[in-house]
Amino acid sequence: MSYMELPKLEDYEVSPKTGFLPDELPIRRLSDSYFDPWEDLVEELPSLILVKKIRELVDELPILSVERIASDKRELRRAYSILGFLSHAYVWNVDIATENLPKALAKPLIEASEILEVPPLATYAGLILWNFRPIRKSAETFDLDNLTTINTYTGSIDESWFYLVSVYFEYKGAGCITGGLDAMKYVREDSIEKVTESLKSLAEAIDMLGSVLMRMEEMCDPHTFYYRIRPYLAGWKNMADAGLPNGLKYGDEEEYRSYAGGSNAQSSLIQTLDIILGVEHYPTGQREETRDSKVVSASSGSNNFMNEMRKYMPGPHRRFLEHLGQVANIRSYVTEKNDSLLTLAYDASVAMLKAFRDKHIQIVTRYIILQAGAFKKSGSKNTLRSGISKTAEKKDQKGTGGTALMPFLKQCRDETGDTAAGEWGQSILSKNVLTSRPREDDTPGVDTKRPKLGLAGSWSSSDDGAAAGHW
């Protein structure tokens, strides 16, 4: 029998050591002085945001081109990251959002995005994957306590920590990628013992990712995140309440462009784990009962939001997921062999992924749902959230995803549990026995049953109404 080859990481800019992070550290400043106008401006971005001078100074920028660095991916990533930061600051820094991005930002941002195969705005790649550096060269490079950001909007520790936890998350996830590929290789060799051991290791690695995620609470304050950081992560898709009913015009373009804001749903690692384990996702409100299916395809899930988020990933990473989806074989092998130890190891990995999604729900609840509820409950008219129009602030926080945020996240969690292969796993994981519940005393009196929020990452499909929110 002939098989399509398993994906080779190096073909898709994926590293066995750093995962979807670049194997070479991002550069801290563009080497050509030609780009100093950009670098000088982004270096002072937090101060310029504070005094609301960013639009004025961006309007004075010369129109530069990235053509001279088009063949240097590290330089190009740096340019893309800078232009993303400046563009979002330009749009959201003043009380009334602008629907026109000046040519000095639009032209080079579009140029860079086309080469890197990402949309022209601040994506997860520009904010996270290409925006970190070690503090001390002598220490362990990827230790979370030795990382800092290159740029932020606010200059705050909270914002840096928010990005850096995701950097560390991606780094620790490298073992999940290699472990999953190992398991897939052993399936082809029909080695039940090796597949079992690989799945045990994968379960432990996914469990560690959940612990990394919960470190967000150490140095990122939910109130600061919601009011001072998150607004600048907003894109220009479904943002009518915030002053962008049609999206954004780039430079001299006559047509509006509409893009979702930065979201951790744009992380290729999360979708990689789903594909490896054969987890299916469907449009919100249309959860499929996959537990009784003998074979779960890793690529046939029809969740429009998650498919859309692939468009925001770097092209090579997107193609990696496509290749992986075509060769995923673990769940079908587990159900076919019906081996008790193999099934238990597989279900343990599924359980850890479901537990990770529970922790994600807890973080989203604390950092977004409760904060939105607290603002609405307070009835405050004096709190001005940077980057959000006063009109939007008064509109009941429906934002771009409305009330579908938590239903989406919970359905993703439940669909993960549906993937369990054994009777014990199906029984335990389908009943939410492992579900974590956020602490209800964080914001007393706030009703979180029908969250209404929006901005960065909350997105609604025009096709089926499915929506999701991250960050």
Annotated binding site for heme b: which residue ranges? 360
- Determine the residue type at 325: G
- Report how far Cα 311 is from the mean position of its chain's Cα atoms: 12
Q: b/e map of 385-420 (b: 16 or more CB within 10 Å)? A: bbbbbeebbeeebbbbbbebbbbbbbbbbbbbbbbb
Sign of CA dihedral 165, 171, 175, 178: positive
Task: Decide if 439 contacts 298 (C-beta within 8 A).
Answer: no
- Give the Cα separation of 248 and 252 in Å (integer): 11
- Taking CA atoms, 228 is separated from 132, 154, 155, in Å, by 20, 7, 11
- Give the Cα separation of 252 and 414 in Å (integer): 46
Q: b/e map of 14-53 (b: 16 or more CB within 10 Å)? A: bbeebbbbbeebbbebbeeeebebbbebbeebbebbeeee
- Give the Cα separation of 198 and 177 in Å (integer): 11
Residue whose pair of structure tokens reads 């999360």 in the numeric block? 270
| 3-state DSSP assignment of residue 41 | helix
Q: b/e map of 341-350 (b: 16 or more CB within 10 Å)? A: ebbbbbbbbb
Summarize the annotated binding site as residue ranges. 360
Q: What tokens does 11 get?
A: 């073909």
- Give the Cα separation of 193 and 187 in Å (integer): 10
- Give the Cα separation of 57 and 75 in Å (integer): 23
